[in-house]
């Protein structure tokens, strides 16, 4: 924490600020704690997060969790991107505890990231943990690196998807997923 705090102090000095002035006196420590929280995914493992929350089940239709809020940091500019993940799978004898899907999203979102990679990591992790017939992940997010710098497009939204197993191979399953997503 001390090393991170010192780095933020150096950043303040590098932009011409006085890290000792009243409004900034404790900012390096606060920023260090914030970054520790925002990057906690580096210190988490999917297996530990899932724990024993995988259960036998006869369910054989799409299981979907929509609108999972996510907050991540663009690895190119260290600015946030904020959005929603929609995650679906088709069980193959096992289901996962509902909150674990959101926790898997957080494990990968709480790292320096690009959205394309985040989408794939969530899908791969769920595929590995459950061995379902298929997994589908769609993430839509607004990127502050695009909104507040560079092209400054405030209404832009990036959408990414990763389809595995039957969601990729079977057009009817993919269409059913997209229909559920649209509701």
Catalytically active residues, by annotation:
74-77, 115, 143, 145
Angle made by CA atoms 81, 84, 89, in degrees to the nearest 5? 130
> Do residues 31 and 6 make contact, with C-beta atoms less than 8 angstroms apart?
no
Say which residues have a Cβ less than 8 Å from residue 3's Cβ, sequence separation at least 6. none
Q: How far apart are CA 140 and CA 67, in angstroms?
A: 9
Identify the residue whose tokens are 């000792």: 20
Q: How far apart are CA 46 and CA 50, in angstroms?
A: 6
């Amino acid at each position: 924490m001390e090393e991170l705090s010192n780095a933020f102090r150096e950043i303040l000095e590098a932009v011409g600020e006085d890290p000792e002035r009243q409004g900034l006196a404790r900012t390096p420590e606060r920023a260090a704690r914030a970054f520790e929280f925002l990057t906690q995914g580096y210190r988490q493992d999917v297996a530990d997060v899932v724990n024993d929350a995988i259960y036998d089940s006869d369910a054989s239709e799409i299981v979907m969790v929509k609108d999972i809020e996510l907050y991540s940091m663009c690895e190119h500019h260290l600015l946030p991107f904020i959005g929603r993940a929609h995650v679906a799978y088709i069980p193959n004898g096992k289901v996962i505890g509902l909150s674990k899907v959101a926790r898997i999203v957080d494990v990968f979102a709480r790292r320096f990231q690009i959205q394309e990679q985040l989408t794939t990591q969530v899908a791969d992790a769920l595929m590995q943990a459950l061995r379902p017939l298929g997994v589908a992940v769609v993430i839509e997010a607004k990127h502050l690196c695009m909104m507040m710098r560079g092209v400054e497009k405030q209404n832009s939204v990036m959408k990414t998807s990763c389809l595995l197993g039957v969601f990729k191979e079977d057009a009817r399953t993919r269409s059913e997923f997209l229909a559920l997503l649209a509701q």
